[in-house]
Amino acid sequence: MILEELLCEKMVTYDLAREHLIIRACNYQKNKARLKTIPHRLAADLAVTCHLMEKEEDGTFCSTVVDYGLMEWMEVREEQLFADAFTYSPHNLPPLIRPMESIIDAMLGLAEEPPPAMTLEEQMQGFCLREDMPVLTNRENRNGAAVLFYPGVLELIGEQMGTDYFILPSSIHETILLPDDGTYRLAELEEMVVEINRSELLPKDYLSDSVYYFNRTRRIFGRAS
């Protein structure tokens, strides 16, 4: 990774490097040993970490985790690192929300993603959040579960949905949002998440067996249980 090499050679300052920061979410218990060397923030049973993103020539991107060693080398405090990561991640990997049906259509080549300039709020105007089973990710469709922790995203979705809602961890790449309107029972949702994790998900894409919940009045994210 060119950016990492330049940083280690002190040819790039943190002031420039921070513009490449993104956040990722992972399961805390599954990564507990590795996280001993990585600054992180806990959210329920998840850990949020910081990474430096770099675009490849073919349009894809790679990233390097910011561990304590790299953080010290960049001469940045942990609080500043996370403040910058939460600021720049939404710009580097903009949020994307789509109804489940459109994702299936896209896989069949029948639908396109919203224009890049469209904001998250504008994206949500195109369908019914309470009926169309929205899927939240980022525009790269990679490590999109971290969008849950972009500043203001959960609150904006709650405002548009008009109710508290369940959050199903489909994988590290996306989450599914369901309104708490009496349609869904927590026990059934938990069974569904576990079943999909065991039967259809690659181990490297696993996020959690938990179902999460966002209380829009109190603005609290946590495990639904």
- This prediction's pTM: 0.90
For residue range 80-102, list pLDDT tens digits in order.
999 999 999 999 999 999 998 87
CA distance 43 to 17: 26
pLDDT tens digit string along 41-89? Answer: 999 999 999 999 987 766 677 889 999 999 998 899 999 999 999 999 9
Write down the pLDDT at residue 100. 87
Mean pLDDT of 153-172: 97
CB 207 within 8 A of CB 167: no
Please compute the mean of the pLDDT values over residues 139-149 and round it to a whole number. 95
Q: What is the pLDDT of residue 110?
A: 56
Q: What is the pLDDT of residue 50?
A: 98
Which residues pair with residue 41 across a beta bridge?
Answer: 48
Say which range, 6-20, 72-86, 110-124, 140-154, has the weakest mean pLDDT: 6-20
Provide the H-helix boundaries in the chain: 2-8, 14-17, 68-73, 78-92, 100-107, 120-124, 153-161, 186-199
Q: What is the DSSP letter of 202?
A: -
Chain mean pLDDT for the chain: 90
Which residues are CB-neighbours of 144 under 8 A, at least 6 positions away? 93, 96, 136, 137, 138, 172, 173, 174, 175
